[in-house]
């Protein structure tokens, strides 16, 4: 009889040992508590956490091991399990007294019952999720920071996929489009903006998709209200593991005011203040460009130089204010009698030039004669009631497309102008 009991006891001890090994090998913190929330069982992982042998933990409460003022949810959950007989599954935070370390756990707690169905305590299993939780906290902080930056940045920030459909736009972009951030996802720019604007904004997109490299440039946007805005945009590709562009991020800053200031500066740098004609600097830039184009296309390029005969007499007799008035009226007369493709420039003082792309020598001569006749017919009212009339002397030439530069034709046409002046004025000399 004693032998049978010994065998049964040994079997039970072996099973208990086996269960103990299983509980210690699960990689989770396993414990049991009585109705007073005192530990009645802990596995090895709990003992390691508290840095005590299990026998020094059994019979003690959590406040012997944790700063419960920092993690009261642990005690609240224990009471719910014992008092309400419910199962709790949620995150718990523990601050360990021994080390002061803050740990995060995913814990499942269930009530323990006796054979009569009466709650006698609770059992729990906790999985350490500290690393995951800290990573999530860092991720949440970064996400919050990123969201704060994106939503408060004055720049327009957006993401598009390889088909140029929006995956994200910030609030600034949504306001420009007149839509919401949610409504923009999955849509193309042409669904928000006029066709001309959509086509303009697609230029940099296509350049990025073609080259797979970061692109930057100025973009013109015509809003639905008709207002014109200018943006400096930088677009950066996001590539997959094979190096193909799968999406890209864009940053567009409003440079409308700067763009208008730049255009105004460029206009003033290229324009004669008094007559609003092109100045000498702009004339030289254009004639060099037209020379290169004419060499490529083999189209002719006519050139006229002229100045006002005896202009000094007008200044001496009526004063510089009237002289300026004559120059202004001359500029108006010239621009109204040339083609839109022609360039009229004031080279300085009373000297002017006209560049006529595509004109033959006969057409250039005819244009010069027309200008001479129109200017001779022009009248400018002087303060004394008299009408001032002027004549011009002009030189005409064709730009030699076989030459290396425009230097020679400029010298030739200038010589022709002075021949006209020296041979009696109010005439045209052709070279």
What is the tally of structural domains in the chain?
Answer: 3
> Which of 291, 266, 289 has the alpha carbon at shortest distance from 279?
266
Are 282 and 238 within one domain? no
Q: pLDDT for 358-407, tens place per residue?
A: 999 999 999 999 999 999 999 999 888 889 999 999 999 999 888 788 99
Q: Is the dihedral of CA 281, 282, 285, 286 positive or negative?
A: negative
- Structural domain ending residue among the three candidates 224, 259, 294: 259
- Average pLDDT over all residues of the chain: 89
Type and span of the H or E element at 146: helix 130-152
Q: Is 395 a member of any domain? A: yes
Confidence of residue 409 (pLDDT cuts 50, 70, 90): very high
Q: Are residues 299 and 178 in the same domain?
A: no
The verdict on pTM exceeding 0.75 is: no
Within a domain: 145: no
Q: Strands (DSSP E) along 178-242, which ranges? A: 215-222, 228-239
Q: Residue 351: which pLDDT band, with cuts at 50, 70 and 90?
A: very high
Q: 285 and 255, same structural domain?
A: no
Whether the Cβ atoms of residue 269 and residue 291 lie closer than 8 Å to each other: no
CB contact burial 234-261 (16+ within 10 A = b; e otherwise): ebebeeeeeeebebbbbbbebbeeebee
Whether residue 38 lies inside any domain: the answer is yes
Percent of the chain with pLDDT over 70: 93
Is 70 exceeded by the pLDDT of residue 19? no
CB count within 10 Å of CB 167 equals 14
Domain for residue 136, yes or no? no
User: How far is residue 348's CA from residue 337's CA, in Å, rounded to a whole number?
Assistant: 21
Q: Residue 85 and residue 112: Cα distance in Å, rounded?
A: 9
Which of the listed residues 211, 227, 259 is the one where a domain comes to its end?
A: 259
From 124, 250, 112, select the one nearest 184 (Cα to Cα). Answer: 250
User: Quick check: is 8 in a domain?
Assistant: no
Sheet architecture: strand order including 245-254:
166-169, 156-161, 245-254, 228-239, 215-222
- The verdict on 202 and 114 lying in the same domain is no
Using the predicted structure, report yes or no on whether residue 336 has a pLDDT greater than 90. Answer: yes
232 and 319 assigned to the same domain: no
Domain span holding position 76: 19-130
Same domain flag for 101 and 238: no
Same domain, 307 and 375: yes
pLDDT digits (tens, 9 = 90+) for 34-85: 999 999 999 989 998 888 999 999 999 988 888 877 667 888 999 999 999 9
Q: Output the six-digit token pair for 173.
A: 């972009």
Are 302 and 417 contained in the same domain? yes
3-class state of residue 278 by DSSP: strand
Kindly state whether residues 307 and 389 are assigned to the same domain.
Answer: yes
Shared domain check, 395 and 309: yes
Only one residue has tokens 């008709």, namely: 226
What CATH number did the domain enclosing 198 receive?
A: 3.30.450.20
d(CA 59, CA 44): 16
In a domain, 238, yes or no: yes
Boundary residue ending a domain (239, 259, 279): 259
Q: Please say whether the beta carbons of 371 and 365 come within 8 A.
A: no
Q: What is the mean pLDDT of the segment spanning 224-252?
A: 90
Q: Find the Cα–Cα–Cα–Cα dihedral 11, 17, 18, 24, rounded to 10°.
A: 170
Residues 27 and 52 in one domain: yes
Task: Tell me whether residue 141 is in a domain.
Answer: no
108 belongs to a structural domain: yes
Q: What is the CATH number of the domain that holds 425?
A: 3.30.70.270
Residues 361 and 416 in one domain: yes
């Amino acid at each position: 009889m004693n032998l049978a009991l010994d065998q049964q006891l040994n079997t039970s001890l072996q099973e208990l040992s086996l269960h103990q090994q299983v509980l210690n090998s699960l990689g989770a913190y396993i414990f049991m508590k009585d109705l007073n929330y005192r530990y009645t069982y802990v596995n090895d992982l709990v003992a390691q956490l508290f840095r005590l042998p299990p026998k020094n933990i059994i019979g003690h409460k959590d406040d012997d091991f944790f700063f419960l003022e920092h993690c009261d949810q642990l005690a609240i959950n224990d009471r719910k399990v014992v008092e309400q007989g419910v199962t709790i599954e949620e995150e718990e935070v523990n601050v360990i007294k021994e080390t002061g370390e803050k740990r995060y756990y995913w814990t499942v707690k269930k009530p323990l019952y006796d054979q009569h169905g009466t709650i006698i305590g609770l059992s729990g299993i906790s999985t350490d999720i500290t690393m995951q939780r800290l990573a999530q906290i860092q991720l949440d902080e970064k996400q919050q920071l990123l969201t704060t930056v994106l939503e408060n940045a004055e720049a327009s920030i957006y993401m598009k996929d390889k088909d140029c459909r929006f995956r994200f736009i910030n609030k600034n972009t949504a306001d420009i489009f007149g839509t919401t951030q949610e409504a923009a996802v999955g849509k193309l720019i042409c669904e928000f903006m006029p066709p001309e604007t959509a086509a303009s904004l697609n230029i940099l997109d296509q350049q990025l998709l073609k080259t797979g490299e970061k692109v930057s440039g100025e973009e013109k946007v015509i809003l639905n209200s008709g207002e014109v805005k200018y943006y400096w945009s930088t677009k950066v590709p996001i590539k997959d593991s094979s190096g193909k562009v799968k999406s890209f991020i864009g940053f567009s800053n409003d440079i409308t005011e700067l763009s208008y200031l730049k255009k105004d500066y460029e206009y003033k740098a290229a324009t004669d203040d008094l007559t609003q004609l092109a100045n000498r600097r702009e004339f030289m830039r254009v004639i060099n460009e037209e020379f290169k184009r004419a060499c490529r296309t083999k189209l002719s390029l006519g050139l006229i130089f002229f100045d006002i005969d005896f202009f000094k007499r007008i200044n001496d007799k009526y004063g510089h204010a009237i002289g300026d008035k004559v120059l202004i009226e001359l500029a108006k007369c010239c621009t109204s009698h040339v083609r839109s493709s022609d360039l009229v420039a004031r080279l300085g003082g009373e000297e002017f030039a006209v560049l006529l792309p595509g004109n033959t020598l006969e057409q250039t001569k005819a244009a010069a004669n027309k200008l001479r006749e129109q200017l001779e017919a022009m009248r400018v009212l002087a303060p004394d009631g008299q009408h001032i009339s002027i004549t011009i002397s002009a030189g005409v030439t064709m730009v030699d497309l076989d030459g290396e530069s425009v230097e020679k034709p400029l010298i030739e046409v200038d010589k022709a102008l002075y021949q006209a002046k020296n041979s009696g004025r109010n005439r045209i000399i052709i070279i």
